[in-house]
Amino acid sequence: MIDNDRLIGIFAYRDCLQAALKVLREKGVDIQAVYSPVPLHEVEETLSAKPSSVRYFTLTGALLGIVAGIFLSVYTSLQWKFIVGGKPIVSYVPMVIVAFEFCILLAIVFNLLGMLINSRLPRFSIPTHYDTRFTGDRFGILVQCAESERETVAAILKKSGAEEVRHAT
């Protein structure tokens, strides 16, 4: 659709933001982004966005970590073939600890990577519709709608208490 239009509504109060989101979702308007200077759990619930895919990154990291830990301890033991205290060269008991530590390490690293990739960070240019007050004292909703619906969507935003509704380029 070429005649798509994007609107951004700026709110001073989280109650207004929340009310606007409720109405927008009921009407089936495409909400593209919600900006907020603080984490808002009720917004997450209202948007009922599907759980972020970061957890799959973490799981992959954890499993890879276990494998890497086992591999490292087996590989190094076999390289040196040191017999300590009559124990077998490849023994499982201390391997658990190395595997555990690697599991946590890689899970964390992958978690961080997953977060960065999903939030498309680092970002070197700020989108033009972004208002710097979103990191200060204002909330924002970015919606996409057809040219014909523009008036009604703008009315919804205004009616819910938006201070300002403007065209997002």
Partner 1 sequence: MRPDEIIQASLQAGSQIEKRSRLLLVIFFCMTLLGAAVFLSTIAGPQAARAWQAYLVNFVFWTGLSFGAVLFVAIMNMTSARWSRPIKRFAEAPGAFLPIACVLFIVLYFGREHIFPWIHEPVAGKQLWLNVRFLFIRDGAGLALLTALSLVLLYQSASADRKAALRSSPGSLIEGKRPKLQAALSPAFGIVYAIVLSLIAIDLIMSLDPHWVSTLFGAYYFMGSFYTALAALMVLCGISLSAYGLQDFIMPRQFHDLGKLLLGFCVVTGDFFYSQFLVIWYGNLPEEAQYVILRVRNTPWQLLAWTVLIVCFALPFVILLNRKIKMKPRAMVMLGIIILIGMWLERLLLIAPSLWKGEQLPLGMIELSISAGFLGAMALCVLLFLRQFPILPLSDPLFLEMLQASHEQSRETAA
- 77 contributes a contact to partner 1 by CB under 8 A: no
Q: Which is nearer to partner 1, 72 or 149 (CB)?
A: 72
- 151 contributes a contact to partner 1 by CB under 8 A: no
* Calpha distance 164→157 (Å, rounded): 9
- 15 contributes a contact to partner 1 by CB under 8 A: yes
Residue 42 CB, shortest distance to partner 1, in Å, is 5
Q: Please work out, in degrees rounded to the nearest 5, the angle formed at the alpha carbon of residue 16 by the alpha carbons of 137 and 119.
A: 60
Crossing angle of helices 14-27 and 150-159, rounded to 10°: 150
Size of the site for partner 1 (CB under 8 A): 13
User: Do the beta carbons of residue 16 and residue 157 sit within 8 Å?
Assistant: no
- 39 contributes a contact to partner 1 by CB under 8 A: no
Instruction: Give the CB-side neighbour count of residue 68, counting CA atoms within 13 A.
Output: 14
* Calpha distance 22→2 (Å, rounded): 27
Q: Which stretch binds partner 1 (CB under 8 A): 39-47, 68-76, 101-109, 138-146?
A: 39-47
- 45 contributes a contact to partner 1 by CB under 8 A: yes
Q: Which stretch binds partner 1 (CB under 8 A): 90-98, 109-117, 133-141, 143-151?
A: 90-98
155 by DSSP, 3-state: which? helix
Interface with partner 1 (CB under 8 A), residue from 13, 71, 76, 94? 94
Q: Which is nearer to partner 1, 96 or 117 (CB)?
A: 96
User: Do the beta carbons of residue 53 and residue 78 sit within 8 Å?
Assistant: no
Token duo for residue 128: 């033009």
Q: List contacts with partner 1 (CB under 8 A).
A: 15, 18-19, 42, 45-46, 85-87, 93-94, 96-97
